[in-house]
Chain A
Amino acid sequence: MNKENNNLTEENPYVPKPYKVTDFYRETSDTFTITIDMKVKHDPGQFVQVTLPGIGEAPVSICSDSDKYIKLNIREVGNVTRALAKLKKGDTLLIRGPYGNGYPMEVLKGNNLLIIGGGCGVAPLKGVIDYVENHRDDYQEVQLVLGYRSPDDIIFKRELAEWKNKYNLQVTVDKNPQSKFCYDAKVGFVTEYLKEAHLSNENKVVFICGPPIMMKFVIDILKEKGFNDDQIFISAERLMYCGIGVCCHCMIHGKFTCLDGPVFRYDEVKDFKND
């Protein structure tokens, strides 16, 4: 009886594998982007669990679209992310994943895309933009509205210069006391820009990722402008521990952010409370 293989080493979902850091780029005073030689198929919006042994594990969304590497944009806010900031090219770190439901890019072919990001929330959306870049013919008009706190907080400065030429790009900064250059940024919240902007909802889907309060107000404005709930995709923020729908930390109304999300179509989650 019980002759089955009980080996814990086989397909153990909790055990990360080692990868090399191939590039480290400092974006702002508290954010950086690392490139890792992890060759894995993934969807934009999915995330990985990054381990620094002895410090811990942190979920980070993938901000690239390649089968040769993954890029992670990380903000130094906790123990693990602060320690990750000390990585150098050639260092090893442990990763498991990718996890979660990303943006359903395949299903959304043929649509106009409106991509709205706030601060760190721009990171997973960069994965979408890279994906669109690799499948440009599959999508129509692409509009980017990206909000940051100040010019010094702008991430992906190198990419913004490119996106400006390719897409309809609008950057906003909450404040710009020294009137620094930042891609013709408007001063004010993303929401203020969106309120004034002429937005057609025709044949369009919207991806929003940013602080919860920003997403809430952006959705309100989109609804006023005639967008339907099923045209809007949001990315939920929760702290994922297990990444495989067990530990319950990321549960919202019985749904697992790590499994059913982090990307949700708004009509599927709009009635959820803080439960």
Chain B
Amino acid sequence: MQVFRLEKKRLMPFLRKVMRSYELVAPVKTDLVRFEKIKNPKSICFEKPYFPVKGFFFKKHQVLFEFDGSRVKIPANNEPERVFFGLKKCDLNAIIRQDKVFLEDAEDPYYKASREKSFLLGFHCDEACSEYCFCGSMELVDFYDLMFYDKGNHFLVEEGSEKGRFLISKFKEFFKPVPRKITQEEKEIKGTDRLKKNSITHLYDHPGWQKDVENCFSCGACTALCPTCYCFEIHDEVKSSCLSKGCRKRCWSSCQLQSFTRVAGDHVFREKREERFKHRIFHQLGYFKEKYGMNLCVGCGRCIEGCPTRIDFIKTINEMEDEQRE
């Protein structure tokens, strides 16, 4: 793929120019680092975002349609064209996974509407962003429209798609082609291979899970912070002034909540915390791979960092693996 050089001092002018044509979204540090619509590119923070980017495509609250009695009105698609800047390799690979679920399988029109109008500009990490990262164990792939590599006084920018090529040509005054490739070594993220084995199907009944299960509150922070977790529920909201009018909404949910598998008659299928705890881990590192050939987990470690008791299931899996090998 073609590589370009962007001088560091030209980054802000480039982003400002991008903002004239597109909505720019990038990590910003407020209380925590999160992806936000950028008003001033100087506010962009290059640390690892605490929150994932998924909410821009798979919205936390999405109105599916409005109703008035049995008349249904589908909302207009007002998604702007967005340029996302500062996506880490884990964030980008998470988008591949959600694309599989929402575009390949279900053709979800809401996800599609925002996803189609997005440009994904990655920012390469040279080393683990935090002690929780394990992306190096997750067989991540190259996936981006443009990828930025920090080279001191300049960036090297690698094209990854047609969309990327389009952006480069649209903003060509900033980019100078360089006759070189980005090497595999440059693409590596050091210190991120702490999960020893990413297949865990043989560990389902292992007693080693117990201590993690005991520390889990089933709060669902892990699933909310996960860049790939995609479960949701659907409910109706009515206007208090007119009960026949309202909307149907889809909202993020969590398989960690007891109510998640409740059916009519109040039977709960995954009633035990242990069953729910393992369901998430096994969906992330097992079931999804059986169906799509890749793990759902991208190794960003946000679920560990955001867990109120810092449950490090990677450590637990490694311990179980070591024990089995002995």
Contacts and interface: CB of A to CB of B under 8 A. Distances in A.
Interface string A227-265: 000000000011101101111110111100000000000
B260 interface: yes
B163 A1 contact: yes
A42 interface: no
Interface string A7-47: 11111111110100000000000000000000000000000
B264 A77 contact: yes
Contact of A6 (B69, B77, B283): B77
A13 B79 contact: no
A25 to B, nearest CB: 20
Interface residues of A, number: 47
Given A8-B113, A77-B264, A78-B264, A245 B105 contact: yes
A57 B234 contact: yes
A208 B10 CA distance: 68
A72 to B, nearest CB: 14
Given A1-B166, A6-B112, A274-B269, A93 B70 contact: yes
A254 B295 CA distance: 12
B236 A56 contact: yes
Given A78-B264, A239-B262, A248 B230 contact: yes
Contact of B236 (A8, A53, A77): A53
Interface stretch (B85-93, B185-193, B244-252): B244-252
A246 B58 CA distance: 12
A245 B106 contact: yes
Contact of B77 (A7, A55, A78): A7
Given A78-B264, A238-B263, A248-B231, A12 B105 contact: no
Given A53-B244, A273-B204, A249 B260 contact: yes
Contacts of B290: 254
Contacts of B244: 53-54
B255 A254 contact: no
A54 B230 contact: no
Interface stretch (B26-34, B41-49, B274-282, B301-309): B274-282
Contacts of A81: 264
Q: Give chain A's interface secondary structure class.
A: loop
Interface in B32-83: 64-65, 67, 69-70, 72, 74-77, 79, 81
A12 B74 contact: yes
Interface string B87-106: 00000000000000110011
Interface of B: 64-65, 67, 69-70, 72, 74-77, 79, 81, 101-102, 105-110, 112-113, 116-117, 163, 166, 204, 230-236, 238, 243-244, 246, 248, 250, 253, 255, 260-265, 267, 269-272, 275, 278-279, 282-283, 286-288, 290-291
Closest 6 CB pairs of A and B: A254-B287, A248-B231, A53-B67, A77-B264, A54-B238, A14-B64
Interface of A: 1-2, 4, 6-16, 18, 51, 53-57, 75, 77-78, 81, 92-94, 212, 237-239, 241-242, 244-249, 251-254, 273-275
